[in-house]
Each structure stands twice: as C-alpha cells, then as structure tokens.
Amino acid sequence: MKKNKISKNWVNKQRRDIYVRQSKVDGYRARSAYKLIEIDEKFKIFKGGLSIIDIGAAPGSWSQYAIKASKSGKLISIDLKKMEPIGSSVQIQGDFTAEKTQEEIKKNINGKVDVVMSDMAVDTTGIKNIDSIQTGELCKEAMFFAKDLMKDNGYFISKIFMGGTFNEIVAEGKKFFKEVKVFKPKSSRKDSKESFIICRKIR
C-alpha cells in the first residue's frame, strides 16, 4: 500500500513538473538536460568541435545536448545501462569504475579531451548522508580519471550532493584545477541536495 502511494506521488509530481513537460516538447530523453543547459548558459562551456566524455549518460539527455551544442565534435557516452544511439557518438556499456571500462574509453580518444562530465549517482537510500558519501565517491573517481585526460583549459562537470563529503570533494578539485565553482541549477528539484561542481584549467 505504501509503495503504491509513493508511486502515485511520483507520477503526480512528474505531471506537474514543467521540466518534464518541456523535455517532451524539446525531444530530450529526461528533464536532466535542463541542468546541463543552465550550466552551459552560466559557464559558456560548449562550442563547435569539442571532444566530450559523458559518464553515467543514460538515458542520454546530457549527451543529446552536448552533441547538439558541440556540432562537429566527438562524444563518448558511458553507462551501466544500454542506451538508444545518439548521432555519431561512441557508446560504451559498462561500469565506469572498472579498469576495463576506463581502458576502453581511453582507446576511443585521440589526444586530450575538452570536457569530462558526470551525472552519476547511486540509487538513493533516502539516508541523505549515505547518499552524499556514495555519490561523492563516484564524483571523485570521475575527477581522478578526468584530470589525466583533459586539455589544460578543459572542463570537468560532476553531480555532487551536499553532505559529508562535499568539502572534501571541493578541496580535491582545488588540488587539480585552478578554477572550481559549485552551482545549483533552477531545474534541480527544490527538495534535492544535488549541486554540480564545475572545474577548469588543470594545475
């Protein structure tokens, strides 16, 4: 009974959500596209010809926006789940944290990349501090991977939850990058603890 009530509440929330409705109009696979759009509007990241890695890409709305905004650029999308193809992007299905998957990503790169972005998050438990720590570990893994593959003035973008590991992740970012900002898009749900860390210029 309780599960049905939660499901019904979720469906009602989705129906009321303007970003869910807009994503259907604009052809995006998920409302999360608008978070990346807001990040791009604020930090002016995407332009023609960029090489981009999208970690935790499914269902693909960030990849959709990135490939459109980078025009003739190159995009590699990675996720545990299989995704519908997006333009000429390279899609890798696998666990990003596995060495095998990371080696496969590297095989598909020619030189350094312009943008590494991650919307990875663990399945939430509802215990905010645990969710923050686990998602924080994914953010750190993506950051460590990105720093060795990025151009000197490239961008690293990642989901980050307010909580136990927030300050540690920002401090790690400052070790590797000259510019570190934290931004919460308007399209993030009000009750969500998520923000995004935007790092630029490798030290």
Pick the CATH number of 32-202 from 2.30.30.360, 3.40.50.720, 1.10.1750.10, 3.40.50.150: 3.40.50.150
- 159 included as an active-site residue: yes
pTM to 2 decimals? 0.88
Dihedral over Cα of 151, 172, 99, 129: its sign: negative
Given 35, 147, 159, 193, the catalytic residue = 159
Cα–Cα distance for residue pair 10/4, rounded to 1 Å: 10
pLDDT one-digit tens code per residue, 17-37: 899 899 999 999 999 999 999
* Weakest-pLDDT range from 6-15, 40-49, 100-109, 174-183: 6-15
Residue 133 confidence (pLDDT)? 77
Task: Please provide residue 162's backbone torsions phi and psi, each rounded to the nearest 5 degrees.
Answer: -65, 135
**120-125 average pLDDT score:** 73
